[in-house]
Amino acid sequence: MTSTEAFDAVQIISIKRDKGTLSPEQIDWTIDAYTRGVIAEEQMAALNMAILLNGMDRSEISRWTSAMIASGERMDFSSLTTPDGGRKATSDKHSTGGVGDKITLPLAPLVAVFGVAVPQLSGRGLGHTGGTLDKLEAIPGWRANLSNDEIMAQLQDVGAVICAAGSGLAPADKKLYALRDVTGTVEAIPLIASSIMSKKIAEGTGSLVLDVKVGSGAFMKDEARARELAETMVALGKDAGVHTVALITDMSTPLGLTAGNAIEVEESVEVLSGGGPEDVVELTVRLAEEMLAGAGIHDADPAAALKDGRAMDVWNRMIEAQGGDPRAALPVAKESEVVYAPAEGVLVELDALSVGVAAWRLGAGRARKEDQVQAGAGVRLHAKPGALVRAGEPLMTLLTDTPEKFPRAKEALQDAVVIAPEGSRPARQLIIDRIA
């Protein structure tokens, strides 16, 4: 530290250690000094742990988020125009991640059908939760990295873009996230909320819908903590002037019938063709309604736009604009192995975490950010909770290019399934609550 620094790291750490409140000036300095390398990694790790243990109030989280936004550039979509020369509304969605969560793929083109621009800046998977970019990269030729000019041109022409976030958006968050990941502080709600919202606010969208997952396959296992996270992020959006709504949704069971990359693209195309699993369609339509409402459109019928082909038309244009061939054959795993039902009865539980870990071990996910994924790997489900199954019937098919991965994937599935006598059919509440 030089003599010109306004504060020092030990002072900041001590305040949070002792359950104090950081001033706006202290927060601004902390984020800036960490980004510049003035605050050492071990000092920021100590501060993160103090925040995890002692929390932050709303004003602190809001200022922390603003300081992270200020560490980089902000995108501006005000130049996007409607056919009649008006200003085009923008709306975005963020999911906290889950198993089989391919909703972004059909959702972005669906919302764009109604003239709303969807700048969906997405990420890659890590661990058992899949990444949107990994899924789309299963499409031959498709590219994730676009310049800001390319993003703007595609939003103007097509209306939707799904791509990687540029390094210029909230660079402080990128540095902080990597540190949290290796210091046991990922779970700190103030840091989760500010991480997500700093990027989304810097992205410049006019309205935002948050899909906060809860259950075994989600980051948040407990509904009370999921609600706290949702409420915190909605408040941050409001403080920043961004219309923000959150849905708390169930992730105790995988979404749809696939968990992987190419197979999730395949299922997304089924939804865009007017079919697909009921839960994927339900959540896609509900999130589309929320995104359109945030953009001021209340009389749209997104379910109809899935069935009549309009959303598929936008999908094809969106994929082609990023170099992909939407009609090309998707990669197929070289090897497969079937998991059979051990008994007869009603499938009452299909644990999302177990399926996600199995898909990950088969090669669909990565343990480190530099790892490669197998496009064709994953788990294809043949039954969901509520279905009547018979002993010896296929429950799921495991897919991989490397058959030596099957044993560990099957280990993950040992306690994934609960089958009960007939008559015990569970009712799944997919959308648990709405926070606005």
* DSSP string computed for 71-118: TS-----TT-B-TTS-BPPBEEEEE---SS--THHHHHHHHHTTT-BE
Residue 398 has pLDDT above 90, yes or no: yes
Give the other-Cβ count within 10 Å of 37's Cβ. Answer: 9
Active site residue 16: no
Q: Which residue is catalytic, options 16, 88, 93, 94?
A: 94
Q: What is the pLDDT of residues 216-260, one digit of tens each?
A: 999 899 999 999 999 999 999 999 999 999 999 999 999 999 999
Checking if the pLDDT of 164 tops 50, the result is yes
| pLDDT(424) > 80 | no
| pLDDT on residue 298 | 95
Per-residue confidence (pLDDT) for residue 3, from 0 to 100: 59
Average pLDDT of span 147-171: 93
pLDDT at 1 over 50: no
Give residue 13's pLDDT band: very low, low, confident or very high (50, 70, 90). very high
The angle formed by the CA atoms of residues 294, 298 and 300, to the nearest 5 degrees, is: 110
Task: Verify whether residue 180 is a known catalytic residue.
Answer: yes
Provide mean pLDDT across the span 149-167: 94
Among 24-28, 180-184, 212-216, 221-225, which is the least confidently predicted range? Answer: 180-184
Catalytic residue (one of 28, 92, 101, 173)? 173
Q: What is the mean pLDDT of residues 258-268?
A: 98
Domain ranges of the chain: 9-55, 91-321, 335-420
Judge whether residue 163 has pLDDT over 80: yes
Please state, for a pLDDT cut of 70, what percent of the chain lies above it: 98
173 is catalytic: yes
**318 to 85, 106, 161, 296: CA distances (angstroms):** 22, 11, 6, 23
Contact 347, 387 (CB under 8 A): yes
Those residues with Cβ within 8 angstroms of residue 207's Cβ, 6 or more apart along the chain or in another chain: 89, 90, 91, 92, 242, 243, 244, 291, 294, 295
Fold of domain 335-420: Aldehyde Oxidoreductase; domain 3 (3.90.1170)
Catalytic site residue 371? no
Question: 135: number of CA atoms within 13 Å, CB side?
Answer: 30
What does the pLDDT look like over 351-370, one tens digit per residue?
Answer: 999 999 999 999 998 877 67
Contacts of 394 (CB under 8 A, 6+ apart): 338, 339, 340, 341, 382
Q: What percent of the chain has pLDDT over 90?
A: 87
Report the pLDDT value the prediction gives residue 392, as an integer from 0 to 100.
Answer: 95
List pLDDT tens digits, range 114-156.
999 999 998 887 677 778 999 999 999 999 999 999 999 999 9
Q: Is 428 an annotated catalytic residue?
A: no
| Predicted local confidence at residue 405, as pLDDT | 97
pTM for the whole structure: 0.93
Catalytic entry in 180, 227, 243, 380: 180
From the candidates 62, 71, 91, 195, which is the catalytic residue?
Answer: 195
* CATH number 3.40.1030.10 given to 91-321: yes
Catalytic residue among 16, 102, 135, 199: 199
